[in-house]
Structure 1
Amino acid sequence: MQKYLSDKNETNLRLPGPVPVPFDILNEQTKPLINHRGNEFSYLLKNCTDKLKQIFATDNDLYITTSSGTGVMEASISNFLSEGDEIIVASVGWFGDRFTEIAQAYNVKVINLSFSHGSNINCIDLEECIKKNPKAKAVYVTHNETSTGVQNNLSDISKIVTKYSLLFVVDGISSVASVPCETDKLKIDVLISASQKGWVTPPGLAFISVSKKAWNYHKVSSLPKYYFDISQYKNYFKKGQPPFTPAIGVMYSLDKALDLLIEETMPKVYERHKKVAYKIRTKLIEIGFELFPDDENHASDTLTSVKIPKETSTKQIIEKLENKYNVIISAGQGNLSDKILRIGHLGLVSDAEIDWLIESLIKSMEKENE
């Protein structure tokens, strides 16, 4: 995958996703379509699933859905719970809160354990919450919260959740394939991710791994489900098929991207992300920005969020970056929309793109402050 760091892009796409995709991966989608009930697709499905499991670091079942990441977020609710069940959602931002919104739509009772934006999950508070809510069946957390640029410590969280034998559900949409997230070692029961993030693949596919414990929850789950019913995925996978028509073109791209990630080796992929994150954070601080996370130790390795100076408009900065310098970044979400800038650096990011980003920011800020 590293060989594509020298690729020149006309636009410096620094979103939390989708990420820039090298042409060799993107062009896989131009292959002729095939029968998704035939032997050729069966081989592709099994091959991609095996490689995904390798990167997920799991022996658990894993399924590929044609959907956005939010699709498998919903699947992580509907497949393992029943109406009236209680769950704990430990949230540090916008996407953690999405678990709550989905669960409430299914009439699941949510105990919200919310932490201030910019902070990470406090495990002392988490354990106290679990003790106070003995009826809770599961804990839902977001590994990497892209709305705030915070990365939670799954190792510490896992010790607490497994101590009380609760179902451990993790949103790894913007972390898996970019930072270490070893499913089995961390005893994660349900882990989800999506193709447009660190997998360096176009949007359209999402992934969900399911432990034996999670299957036991699934057996007694009575929430309505159809498209995301994992029993259908399990039964069809035995036949080498998806239950519904898949995004075949994106599957081609995924297959190529997985080969490149595995060829590079995951330790090198993780180290590459760590180095890029450090470079970007350091340069942003050097030009006067303040990190939004309250402690750099839990700053994300896939997205950096920074506070904007007072009397500065995020909208104007973002517009200037895109219109004058072909650099695309994001504002904050919700009540952070005019308070922070979010810069994605998951996937492939070259030194030239980092310099391009920083120089463009400097110029945009100079003109903003004139």
Structure 2
Amino acid sequence: MIPGPTPVPEKVLQALGRHPIGHRTKEFQELVESTTKNLQWLHQTQNDVLTITGSGTAAMEAGIVSTLSRGDKVICGENGKFGERWVKVAKEFGLEVIEIHSEWGTPLNPEEFKKILEEDKKKEIKAVILTHSETSTGVINDLKTISSYIRKHNIALSIIDCVTSLGACNVPVDEWQLDIVASGSQKGYMIPPGLSFIAISQKAWKAAEKSNLPKFYLNLKSYKKSLLSNSNPYTPAVNLVFALDEALKMMREEGLENIFLRHNKHKLAMSQAVKALNLKLFADEKFLSPSITAINTETMDAEEFRKTIKNNFDILLAGGQDHLKGKIFRVGHLGYVNDRDIITVISAISKTLLDLGKITTKEAGEALLVASKNLK
């Protein structure tokens, strides 16, 4: 019950266990063609969706280095560990970074993006980089509104980390005219780590023609060229593509709306149970991610609490990062997670709190009751 790697369905594991095939064969090209079409369906786009053997960070770095140039001015939104990472990556490549901050646990303010973009009369800002679902804090940012302000600027690209939102909530790439959307296999895709995905608009491809940042393995032009023949510029993780094919078929069978509804009800069940257990949500309740719930422990050491649950119930929860270590724990509920999993983790948290004398049996029962109501 962490936000990645997430549980892997049996069908996907079986696909993963197939004997590898040559990545230049007709059989593999047919597989690439099939997965690409299903990736476009998942992203709700007609744009190119490329598959890279690497983590979500690889996809984000690829998006940055393939479309921008040294000295370009960019806006980076930072309200958690991953927003912070994109600031570091941008600075590492010599970009001029305008930082928009929000306290960890609170969403980015769209109006701050609007103000800076509207004041850029010379159109010097070349990109806006931000995280949609901030995994470190359980906050989802208002991408729809922020992207509308980016579009009005006309020049700036939107480079979006959708690692824990793609496949968990609605990210209509074409409707919102998002330029670069990065995600990773070990999250909503329900397969092991090792693949990342990047959707790219025509506007972003035009920007790529002028990019002068250093790149080789992560040069997206190479991937686009290979995709024309349903191939890959380098040796891909063949067995992970087998797994991807099976996972995407499962997702299509469930349907986008049902996937989004399932993640939303799990979010509501967890958040309402947390309140019933006299714990505090770390993030503002209006901006909770459908993928992960961060819980403030206050009077308890969160690391000891996680350790107890792992020892007693063999359930792994995520801890806090950086200055939040020991202060919060996080429950992942994205990907291959069902109602039983939600009830099980709430029961384990409740029993542990009971043993510590933090709650009564009545409160433990109330938590399960409110969770169950939200799972209907």
Deviation by residue 1:87-143 (Cα, 9 ceiling, x = unmatched):
000122111111111111111111110111111121111112224455211111111
Which residue of 50, 53, 56 corresponds with 2:40? 53
CA distance in 1, matches of 2:213, 2:356: 51
Q: Look up the match of 1:30.
A: 17
Counterpart check, 1:89 vs 2:76: yes
Q: Which amino acid aligns with 2:113?
A: L
Pairwise CA RMSD:
1.3
Q: Percent identity?
A: 33
CA distance in 2, matches of 1:334, 1:226: 32
Counterpart check, 1:209 vs 2:199: yes
Mapped contact 1:190–1:209 kept (Cα < 8 A): yes
SS of corresponding position for 1:110: strand
- CA shift, 1:350, in A, is 2.4
Mapped contact 2:78–2:87 kept (Cα < 8 A): no
Q: Look up the match of 2:223.
A: 233
SS of corresponding position for 1:327: coil
Deviation by residue 1:191-246 (Cα, 9 ceiling, x = unmatched):
01111101111111100011110011100000000001011111112222111111
Q: Where do residues 283-322 of structure 1 align in structure 2 (5 Å cutoff)?
A: 283-294=273-284, 296-310=285-299, 312-322=300-310
Counterpart check, 1:250 vs 2:237: no
CA distance in 1, matches of 2:101, 2:29: 43
- CA shift, 1:348, in A, is 2.5
Q: Look up the match of 2:363.
A: none
Counterpart check, 1:259 vs 2:249: yes
Mapped contact 1:314–1:338 kept (Cα < 8 A): yes
CA distance in 1, matches of 2:357, 2:318: 20
CA distance in 2, matches of 1:31, 1:163: 48
CA distance in 1, matches of 2:190, 2:75: 32
Q: Look up the match of 2:176.
A: 186
CA distance in 2, matches of 1:324, 1:226: 47
SS of corresponding position for 1:79: helix
Q: Look up the match of 2:143.
A: 154
CA distance in 2, matches of 1:158, 1:83: 24
CA distance in 2, matches of 1:300, 1:323: 27
Which residue of 131, 156, 161 corresponds with 1:171? 161
- CA shift, 1:179, in A, is 0.3
Q: Look up the match of 1:100.
A: 87
SS of corresponding position for 1:317: helix
- CA shift, 1:161, in A, is 0.9
Q: Look up the match of 2:364.
A: none
Deviation by residue 1:257-291 (Cα, 9 ceiling, x = unmatched):
10110111100110111111111111111111111
CA distance in 2, matches of 1:130, 1:367: 53
CA distance in 1, matches of 2:14, 2:259: 22
- CA shift, 1:150, in A, is 0.5
Counterpart check, 1:333 vs 2:291: no
CA distance in 2, matches of 1:139, 1:190: 10
SS of corresponding position for 2:67: coil
Q: Look up the match of 1:364.
A: 352
Counterpart check, 1:345 vs 2:345: no
Q: Look up the match of 2:28.
A: 41
- CA shift, 1:367, in A, is 4.0
Mapped contact 1:317–1:368 kept (Cα < 8 A): no
Mapped contact 1:113–1:129 kept (Cα < 8 A): no
CA distance in 1, matches of 2:99, 2:327: 24
Counterpart check, 1:139 vs 2:128: yes
Q: Which amino acid aligns with 2:129?
A: Y
Mapped contact 2:114–2:146 kept (Cα < 8 A): no
CA distance in 2, matches of 1:196, 1:146: 13
Per mean C-alpha deviation after superposition, the further-off stretch among 38-47 and 356-365 is 356-365
Deviation by residue 1:30-53 (Cα, 9 ceiling, x = unmatched):
111111011000000111011000
CA distance in 1, matches of 2:16, 2:169: 27
Normalising by the residue count of structure 2, what TM-score does the alignment of the two structures yield?
0.92
Structure 2 residue runs of 5 or longer lacking an equivalent are 359-376
- CA shift, 1:369, in A, is 5.4
Counterpart check, 1:118 vs 2:129: no
SS of corresponding position for 1:82: coil
CA distance in 2, matches of 1:85, 1:15: 36
Structure 1 residue runs of 5 or longer lacking an equivalent are 1-13
Q: Which amino acid aligns with 2:87?
A: T
Mapped contact 1:192–1:207 kept (Cα < 8 A): yes
Normalising by the residue count of structure 1, what TM-score does the alignment of the two structures yield?
0.93
- CA shift, 1:368, in A, is 4.4
CA distance in 1, matches of 2:230, 2:171: 27
